Structure 1
């Protein structure tokens, strides 16, 4: 077990991802294997790591649908929710607390509905993540024609917040709004990797909440990981074998 800052060559990690996911029969299973591997190799740095994928609301398990309905209703956005609404869905979670190792126990992030640009903008971390990797908020407008799959498939990027306790967006809001979690868990840097498939408008994101300061150049070293995860899961995503 090592720290992120100890990484010198990412390619052995990529080979391990391929090996660990080779026999997985669902995206949820593969996501868990990827996060298990990351915790095994970089557990000295990781407080919490999570992998998300966009899934159409109508394709979600019933418990996820119930969570999303409550969330949109509470935020007065329930009327915008349809079976085709992309939901940034938690596929796997691993962390230093037992409850963080079961995605179903997530209190607030089991599914984040991308129902409108305004709704996404109300969640600073997700808004920044999507903006930094080139996800166009205009795609979420009712008259936009939807997400551009060709553009989505080419998207790949790194989300980066050097200091989780102080970083703010252009509206002066804390990018990591859960400041109680940041303080209690000793989170320093948050970074993420994201990219899209040219398949059914599926978009993946892996987030890392770290107990050390990670420089941008160190976070950028992990970008090939997203390409490897996509390549390793393209079959199950194409088959819509999403949840275990």
Structure 2
């Protein structure tokens, strides 16, 4: 167990090797994602309050329990008319944090699946909007999935999502990038960062988001840029074979 701020090339390489070996054993993506968040948290517990793995899938491919909760969210946010079977859903697959309730994705309130149905709706969620922008995910790509139109560009994620200070960082509209300020204050959240990775021969991508209790520079956060691509490479066989959720 170590601090993220103390991590170096050797630390990260050793963790990558351990994670790669661990991920080989899983037969379902959900179990692999949960294990991956467990590993990240256990390795850097001194620094992390919460770590999560999200993967995008079409609404029609999700378990009925997810669909029900997402439909309820879409109804509340008045976007139900544009939600359809092909809509891209940023789906929570793995979660581990300092509270026991944060260690099961089914306990998530409002984050089990985020419908990326339109540019306007994405823009209404400051953290998700910034996450996609900084990781280089074009809104055109997202909306093309929702309409069923062919995207003009292949998705290529190559940048780190980075919020230096969760309590003060604002977006271009003057909104807190991390809106859940009660969570930020209660858990002492400082820096938030994330990375993304794509699945070859698939329209899905994964993102890892880490909420830290220490302040990190962008260079320190960028050392972890490869974690998401490690995860997608190690679990690509599961996505291609449709082995996504436990019990499905």
Match of 2:25 in 1: 23
Residue from 192, 195, 213 that aligns with 2:194: 192
2:48–2:97 Cα contact (<8 Å) kept: yes
- 1:3-82 alignment to 2 at 5 Å? 3-9=3-9, 10-82=12-84
Q: C-alpha distance in 2, partners of 1:56/1:143?
A: 11
Q: How many residues align?
A: 242
Q: How much has 1:143 moved relative to structure 2? A: 6.3
Is contact 1:147-1:201 (8 Å) kept? Answer: no
Q: Distance in 2 between matches of 1:143 and 1:110?
A: 22
Q: Per-residue CA shift, 1:148-195, capped at 9, x if unaligned?
A: 5x621x323210000000000000000000011101111011000112
Aligned to 1:166: 168
Q: Normalising by structure 1, what TM-score?
A: 0.95
Deviation of 1:22 (Å): 0.6
Paired position in structure 2 for 1:92? 94
State the alpha-carbon separation in 2 of the partners of residues 178 and 143 from structure 1.
31
Distance of 1:157 and 1:12 partners within structure 2? 22
Aligned to 1:145: 149
Counterpart CA distance in 2 for 1:69 and 1:132 is 28
Residues of 2 paired with 1:211 and 1:61: CA distance?
33
Distance across 1 between alignment mates of 2:90 and 2:158: 16
CA drift at 1:147: 4.0
Kept in 2: contact 1:39–1:94 (CA 8 A): yes
* Structure 1 unpaired stretches of 5+: none
Alignment map for 1:119-158 (pairs within 5 Å): 119-139=121-141, 140=143, 145-147=149-151, 151-152=154-155, 154-158=156-160
Contact 2:126/2:171 (8 A) holds in 1: yes
**What value does the CA root-mean-square deviation take over the aligned residues?**
1.4
TM-score, normalization by structure 2: 0.94
Task: Report if the CA contact (8 A) 2:167-2:185 is conserved.
Answer: yes
Aligned to 1:151, the other structure's residue is in SS state coil
| 1:133 positional shift | 1.2
Structure 2 unaligned segments of length 5 or more: list them: none
SS in 1 for 2:160: strand
Following the alignment from structure 1 to structure 2, what is the Cα–Cα distance between the partners of residues 54 and 202? 5
Alignment of 1:197-236 (within 5 A): 197-236=199-238
Give yes or no for contact 1:193–1:207 (8 Å, CA) kept in 2: yes
